[in-house]
A and B are shown apart, each in its own frame.
Chain A
Amino acid sequence: MRMHSTTRDPGRAGKRVFHLHSAHASWLAVALGLGAGRALAQPAVAAPSAEPVTEARTEPGTAGTATPAIDPALAAAIDAVVAARVEAEVSARVEAAVAAALASSGAAPQAVGGGGEAARDDELAALIGEDLAAELRADEARVTGRVAAEPAYLSGTDATVGGRGRGGEVGPSNLMNPAISLIGTFAASYFTDDAHPPRGGHVPASTGIHVMEAEFGVEAAVDPYFYLRGFFLFGLTFFETEEVYAETLRLPGGLKVRAGQMLAPFGRSNQTHPHVWEFVDAGLPHQRFLSGEGLRAPSLELSWLAPVPFFLKVSGWAGMPGETPPAGSTADEKTWGKDRDYDFLYLGRLETHIPFSDAWSMALGASAATGPAGQGAGTRSDLFGGDLFLRYKPVEGASYFEFDLTVEGAFRQRQFPGNRLADWAVAVEPAFRLAKQWRIALRGDVAEGDLTRGDTMTGHARDFGEERGALSITYFPTEFSLLRLQGTLSHPHGEAWTGPEWGGEIFLQASYALGAHGAHPF
């Protein structure tokens, strides 16, 4: 696979030029003629003729416009020129080393870029010394099989990715494609009873095999100022714009604006996509208050990274309320709804991160949201939430062991005409990565309180509560695929519940991600 023997000492490549083998002469002629030679031209002189041998000794830098002919006389002449220049000039030495490296590697010499190389080589030699400069340049020539116009590391900004100098396309280039990914998530499920509380989102609702979703993601920088991300969900019978928003890249003062359809910054799980959850479904606070689908809306967010020595982020978000309650539930169960066109939902969030050590750290967040309850007569609905994420991940030793503890809780207060309902929910999720490919997670979640309006005459609301316990075991063949087995035991109860007292759910889930998918935040 390698282009050359690994035993060659690149440091000697330059010196080899001093006693050129005749076999190298023609290679050098080609190399110098095709481009490396161009670099030699400081005072460009006419094409070498019969006399350049003596000419060159007094006037270095005459190989400039040599044509790539393999005429033996010409090759010998160029050899002489190069040898002379090597004695005389630093840049020539670098060039020769490069040419020799190219010749001995068998790579077709190919030059990139125009003039100015010699000057850059001089600069490099002045910085790190001639020998090292020649060694670096020779090595680059061998690895890339070409003579770069200038060493990328001398440039004030990044060179083309990989230093390969691709390009030359006049029209659109596929190098400009955004990061594109497709994540397919499928599940088989078994429910002990068809009557179970609605789970929302694309969580399987009945025994069978389901395509939960195929998430198509596209993202890239739009220009120096904006970054655009789009996540689109396809199912067998639905298409949804999960998120499509632009965010600013370089607002001063730690400020960032996001605009578009986005998941609201309420809690932790609401800001993540289902394929990164530890379980097939979300915890009860998410399912009950944020519809299981996630609270998302056409919206605008302003966030501020406070100029303090620790992480402190303050976000304000305003969106159009319109989320749907979990399928199978009633309109009464939703947190917000729109009474008038100009009704807005406002949300604030404060989050911080405390690194206790290299291994232990904790993120804390508090969120509050208020908006129209959607029950008419100017009724309002408020939701308050707190979240904690504790992570232990040792940075020493040959182990991928991790321990995560996620706790999310929320309290909701809703107005109905002539009535006020309150309920709350908490989910506690410890998770362990036992090995690089294995994760095990437990979840206990509880929800209690008034769910539906009940009797409008007496004002007596109907309560609904649930306690659940779940266990999931996930195997990751690679970071890009997962297979998961989940079991859930639930105990729903309350006036608003008419189904069985106990329910069991078993899921087998598989998820596959292809392409370039953006990394997920902490």
Chain B
Amino acid sequence: MFRSVVVLFLALGLAVPANGRAKVKVVASLTDFGALAREVGGDRVEVVTLASPTQDPHFVDARPSFAVDLAAADLLIYAGAELEAGWLPPLIRTAGNGRILPGQPGHLNVATVVPLRETPAGSVDRSTGDVHPQGNPHTWVDPRNGLRIAVAVTQRLKAIDAEGAEVYEANLRDFARRLGDKMREWKDRLAPFAGTKVIVYHQSWTYFLEWAGLVEVAAIEPLPGVPPADSDVTALVEAQRGAGVKLVVAESFYPSDRVRFVAERLGAKALELPAMTGADGTTGYIDLIQRIVDRVVGALE
């Protein structure tokens, strides 16, 4: 009896990785949350990201293979505010993993930990497009939100893996220091362009522009999520003619011909920006914001 118990314990011991503990499994809907989790978690975490950084995050396939990742996850991080409403909920239900359900430390809905902008007042319906009733979910491109998310991830990781608390906090402090230095540098570089008018394709740059001190004057989409017809684009150009718009920005998954058309007609610059870590060869969260700032400043100089 005793011997079999010993054998059992040995077998269990072998099942644990060589470093003596299993890694905390983090599943992030978007690569940015994954990148932030890597910053904080270091080698104590294993990160899986679901949507590709070059893909429209509203329209991701609910691949059943994602449910396998979710079933094993200790922490799920997602944008919330209905950004992933079209694909994530059935996966979470299929996974049936109690650790990542609402109310658990392993359930991190980013929309609940950052101040959302453009929250509609009163009741909403979709006559105004595919609006998100809780507010604009494209929060992560504001570095302050990146920091907030990193803090939230730290708190969650501490709750999930108390042993690593000091490591997570040290990693966060290091990340905050690096990001903070960069934020000052970026703001200095952006300062000369404060108040510059910008047109976006989709309202996914609101948070970045707000932080950068640029002004979003219009979107090419006539309503959120509705692709523009020729007449919409023409009307937009007419409305903004002479307004002094300097930039027209869009992610790579939006039609560049529309973006270029509007930019040319308004004498502005068309700019394709990566919105998620990994797009455009970016290697981490700070690198992503760096790239966005570089592009914006480069276009405005």
Contact residues of A with B, CB < 8 Å? 2, 6-11, 124, 127-129, 131-132, 135-136, 139-140, 143-144, 151-164, 221, 224, 227, 247-252, 254-256, 305, 309-311, 313, 351-355, 358, 361, 363, 391, 393, 395-400, 435-437, 477-480, 514, 518-522
- Contact partner of A248 (CB less than 8 A), chosen from B96, B112, B148, B227, is B96
Q: A161-B112, A520-B90 are in contact. Are A309 and B68 (CB under 8 A)?
A: yes
Q: Which has the most chain B C-beta neighbours within 10 Å: A136, A221, A309? A: A136
Assess whether B62 is in contact with A521, with CB atoms less than 8 Å apart.
Answer: yes
Q: What is the minimal beta-carbon distance from A160 to any residue of chain B, in angstroms?
A: 7
B103 interfacial by beta-carbon distance below 8 Å: yes
Contact with A along B53-69 (1 / 0, CB 8 A): 01110010111110110
- Contact partner of B195 (CB less than 8 A), chosen from A6, A129, A155, A352, is A6
Assess whether A311 is in contact with B67, with CB atoms less than 8 Å apart.
Answer: yes
B contacts with A, residue count (CB < 8 A) = 85
Assess whether A391 is in contact with B61, with CB atoms less than 8 Å apart.
Answer: yes
- Contact partner of B126 (CB less than 8 A), chosen from A247, A354, A393, A480, is A480
Q: What is the minimal beta-carbon distance from A40 to any residue of chain B, in angstroms?
A: 22
B22 interfacial by beta-carbon distance below 8 Å: no
- Contact partner of A153 (CB less than 8 A), chosen from B85, B113, B194, B254, is B113
Enumerate chain B residues within 8 angstroms of A2, measured Cβ to Cβ: 210
B238 interfacial by beta-carbon distance below 8 Å: no
A128-B176, A162-B112, A309-B68 are known; give 5 further A-B pairs, CB within 8 A: A7-B213, A9-B187, A158-B103, A255-B96, A256-B94
Enumerate chain B residues within 8 angstroms of A159, measured Cβ to Cβ: 112-113
Assess whether A224 is in contact with B71, with CB atoms less than 8 Å apart.
Answer: no
Enumerate chain A residues within 8 angstroms of B282, measured Cβ to Cβ: none
Enumerate chain B residues within 8 angstroms of A400, measured Cβ to Cβ: 56, 59
Report the separation of the CA atoms of residues A238 and B14 in the bound assembly, to the nearest whole angstrom.
61
Q: A160-B112, A250-B101 are in contact. Are A396 and B96 (CB under 8 A)?
A: no
Report the separation of the CA atoms of residues A435 and B102 in the bound assembly, to the nearest whole angstrom.
36
Report the separation of the CA atoms of residues A466 and B13 in the bound assembly, to the nearest whole angstrom.
61
Contact with A along B85-97 (1 / 0, CB 8 A): 1111110011111
Assess whether A143 is in contact with B117, with CB atoms less than 8 Å apart.
Answer: yes
B152 interfacial by beta-carbon distance below 8 Å: yes
Enumerate chain B residues within 8 angstroms of A353, measured Cβ to Cβ: 63-65
- Contact partner of B89 (CB less than 8 A), chosen from A127, A162, A311, A519, is A519
Enumerate chain B residues within 8 angstroms of A305, measured Cβ to Cβ: 67-68, 71, 94-96
Report the separation of the CA atoms of residues A460 and B170 in the bound assembly, to the nearest whole angstrom.
81
B130 interfacial by beta-carbon distance below 8 Å: yes
Q: What is the minimal beta-carbon distance from A121 to any residue of chain B, in angstroms?
A: 12
Enumerate chain A residues within 8 angstroms of B9, measured Cβ to Cβ: none
Q: What is the minimal beta-carbon distance from B20 to any residue of chain A, in angstroms?
A: 22
Assess whether B159 is in contact with A156, with CB atoms less than 8 Å apart.
Answer: yes
B169 interfacial by beta-carbon distance below 8 Å: yes
Q: A127-B173, A249-B98, A519-B88 are in contact. Are A361 and B63 (CB under 8 A)?
A: yes
Q: What is the minimal beta-carbon distance from B170 to any residue of chain A, in angstroms?
A: 10
Report the separation of the CA atoms of residues A477 and B54 in the bound assembly, to the nearest whole angstrom.
24
- Contact partner of A310 (CB less than 8 A), chosen from B65, B226, B252, is B65
Q: A7-B195, A131-B180, A132-B147 are in contact. Are A311 and B65 (CB under 8 A)?
A: yes
